[in-house]
Chains A and B, each alone.
Chain A
Amino acid sequence: MREERKEACKNMNGSYEEQTDSYGPYTVPGSGSYQEHGSERVGRPTTESLTKSRPQILIAGLPGSGKSSVQSVVFHKISPHETVFLAATESVHKHEVGNSAFVQLQILDIPGKLGSVEAEENLDSVMKGCSALIFVIDVTSENTDEALSRLKDTILRAYNANSNIFIEVFIHKADALTEEQRRYCQSELQERVDDELRESNDKVINRISYRTTSIFDHSVFEAFSLVVQRLISELGALESMLDLLVNRCIMEKAFLFDEVSKLYIATDSTPYHPQDFELCSDLIEVNIDLGGIYSEKIAKKGAADKDDDDKSSKGRSSTATIHLSNNMILYLREVSQYLLLVCIMRRQNFDGNVGLIEYNVKIFAEGLREIIERRRQELNLPSES
């Protein structure tokens, strides 16, 4: 099953353009695209219920700011250095993301160039249906004024169309900056935007978050994780479950990850260090890569082999344990379909307690299953079995 997912993901990489083209109504180039969108929503109730259930995230920004790059690095596993080959987005591309129960999204990638009047009008109806807006600003670009005015316009427009929308500003291509410069850039931008918005609408200011991102490190995954978390209504429950687990097993940190996108869905309330997130997400990558190399062959062999043995091993969920030289343990366990629990622990709390930890994780997984069941019903997703 996981293999299928990976395959599907690969296909998306390969036939990237075709994939988006298949959403015919949304990708008619030029002005017609938004129109189609609107009419489809009215015309077909089934689609409407789907649009309602899968939260939409709109990605906007000036041309070349990195909208498509962000989206394809996070959800299509395109390697960052390959994004230079991505062509400019000419029409609205809609990407369905259906990973774990918590990462069920529609990502709308819109052209950076302003379209015709008609298209612009329809942008409002698109924004009405969106749960979050991500505005990407290229920090290396020189036309800051244009970006700022577009940012302001887009924010106001989104807020007017939908006052419940979450607004995220990605200060992008920040890999060129030092940590200090990043912080400076962020606070300066925030100040300027706040000043400008205060004149027109000061309620919107509280709905905006700023994050510095780069596709060349983990920051874009971190930022997107936080965007996705805002759209998860069960976040509080997940966090307190993780807290309980961390307390009972004396862990240092625990993350709940979406395996396919490597976004983290929730973490416990101990202090968060970006390095922990990086290490955990790198571990997931190792787990996927090694699993990818060594499960294909065995799947084939299993088909030819006796079935009894296969059945007993089928139930085994994937786990990984890493011993680090600083007496830390990284422990990864699949707790549901495409959901991974990754924990950091001290060795003295791990050795000898593995059985207990596994038992506690099992209890955690059972609780998680209940939440997921409910969520799946709400989202009209087929239940896991």
Chain B
Amino acid sequence: MAAVKQKLLLMGKSGAGKTSMRSIIFANYVPRETSRLGATIDVEHSNIRFLGSLTLSLWDCGGQDHFIDNFLEAEQENVFKDVAVLIYVFDAESMETKDTDYFRRVCDAIYTNSRGAKIFCLVHKMDLINENEREQFCKVREAQLKKIGERLDLTCFWTSIWDETLYKAWSEIVRCLISNLDTLKAKLRALCEVCEADEVVIFERATFLVIAHAVIEPHDDIHRFEKISNIIKQFKLSCNKKRAGLESLQVQNANSTVLILDFTVCTSIMLVCSDTRIRPAAVLHNIQLANEGFKPLLDDAPIAGSDMLIEPKNIPSSAPKASVLR
């Protein structure tokens, strides 16, 4: 399977938090450290290997007016062609009409150049909005943004670098680029049943974004996986300070056992059992046995949505070939 590049545009006005969120998700920054980041000039490209054969080509576009004008005019074709996902970041505290005007023009450019692209609006810095006003705020903004992007496939998220909402949004974004999710989910469910676990979740190892999950025992907290992404990512960072990586984690309390460990080359897996009679060793053994079966799905995962995929002929010959580390 050839490696496929998916183009992600990260846009929004200057200071909205584009580079902050990118640094937290992909470059292991601690939220507090992002205050040191400077403004992005022009475009910063980064290619991120995500699961075996998927490469995220992330275009972090500088948000100052003259850059955006440039992207929309002289550079329009270059920037907006072959886009798989547009991530438009708004600053929740200051959403001016100029912002929405730019967003409208960006949407038009996407509609002209990459009609199949998915649009994700991330209204960021939600921590600065009064908690009581958030619901009303979200309702109004969502209606407004949906109207602007009505011709496109648009989803809104409310995020903050201080909690798990950022992981929620980005998990959703990367999941739309993985095609074999259903097969994966079915397999995961089978594994969950064999282990008599309550739920099983697969995370991408470097970013700890949620790839897929199977839930047998329903749980009230719908945001728990993103919370766990956040918790484990923070802990991995503190392990890194000691120059150590996290290989496995096992937490047992009176009611449940939580196991998190490295799974395939690109992923980590989490299992939760509430039946205290189940021995963690047995679960570990099952996971090891399942590893082979999941490898082709995760490490060499084929890519979604042929309509928004860069045609193979467009890939320059230098494009990295899929290579699975064994």
**Chain A positions near chain B (C-beta within 8 angstroms):** 79-81, 216, 275, 278-279, 282-283, 285-287, 289-291, 293-299, 301-302, 309, 312-326, 328
Q: Determine if B246 and A324 form an interchain contact, defined as CB atoms under 8 angstroms apart.
A: yes
Q: Determine if A291 and B244 form an interchain contact, defined as CB atoms under 8 angstroms apart.
A: no
Verify if B251 is at the interface (C-beta below 8 Å from A): yes
Find B251's partner among A80, A279, A291, A302 (CB 8 Å cutoff): A291
Interface size on B, residues (CB 8 A): 36
Shortest beta-carbon distance from B284 to chain A in Å: 11
Nearest neighbor of A333 in chain B, beta-carbon distance: B252
**Chain B positions near chain A (C-beta within 8 angstroms):** 31-32, 162, 217, 219-221, 224, 227-228, 231-232, 234-235, 238-239, 241-256, 258, 272, 274, 276
- A317 to B253, alpha carbons, bound, how many Å? 6
With contacts A294-B255, A294-B258 taken as known, whether A321 is within 8 angstroms of B250 at the C-beta atoms is yes
- A325 to B240, alpha carbons, bound, how many Å? 10
What would 17 A/B residue contacts be, using CB atoms closer than 8 Å? A216-B32, A275-B241, A278-B241, A279-B241, A289-B231, A291-B251, A293-B228, A295-B254, A298-B255, A314-B254, A316-B253, A316-B276, A318-B254, A325-B246, A325-B247, A326-B243, A326-B244
For the complex with contacts A216-B32, A299-B255, A320-B251, 5 further pairs of A-B residues with Cβ separation under 8 Å are: A81-B32, A282-B238, A289-B227, A297-B220, A325-B245
Q: Determine if A279 and B239 form an interchain contact, defined as CB atoms under 8 angstroms apart.
A: yes
Shortest beta-carbon distance from B126 to chain A in Å: 14
Q: Determine if A316 and B221 form an interchain contact, defined as CB atoms under 8 angstroms apart.
A: no
Q: Determine if B235 and A275 form an interchain contact, defined as CB atoms under 8 angstroms apart.
A: no
Q: Determine if A322 and B227 form an interchain contact, defined as CB atoms under 8 angstroms apart.
A: no
Q: Determine if B241 and A295 form an interchain contact, defined as CB atoms under 8 angstroms apart.
A: no
- A320 to B247, alpha carbons, bound, how many Å? 13
Q: Determine if B220 and A318 form an interchain contact, defined as CB atoms under 8 angstroms apart.
A: no
Nearest neighbor of B239 in chain A, beta-carbon distance: A324
- A326 to B247, alpha carbons, bound, how many Å? 9
Nearest neighbor of B241 in chain A, beta-carbon distance: A275
User: What chain B residues lie within 8 Å of A299 (beta carbons)?
Assistant: 255
User: What chain B residues lie within 8 Å of A285 (beta carbons)?
Assistant: 231, 234-235
User: What chain A residues lie within 8 Å of B231 (beta carbons)?
Assistant: 285-286, 289-290
Q: Determine if B242 and A326 form an interchain contact, defined as CB atoms under 8 angstroms apart.
A: yes
Nearest neighbor of B270 in chain A, beta-carbon distance: A290
- A346 to B228, alpha carbons, bound, how many Å? 27
With contacts A320-B249, A322-B248 taken as known, whether A313 is within 8 angstroms of B235 at the C-beta atoms is no
Nearest neighbor of A347 in chain B, beta-carbon distance: B247
Shortest beta-carbon distance from A68 to chain B in Å: 20
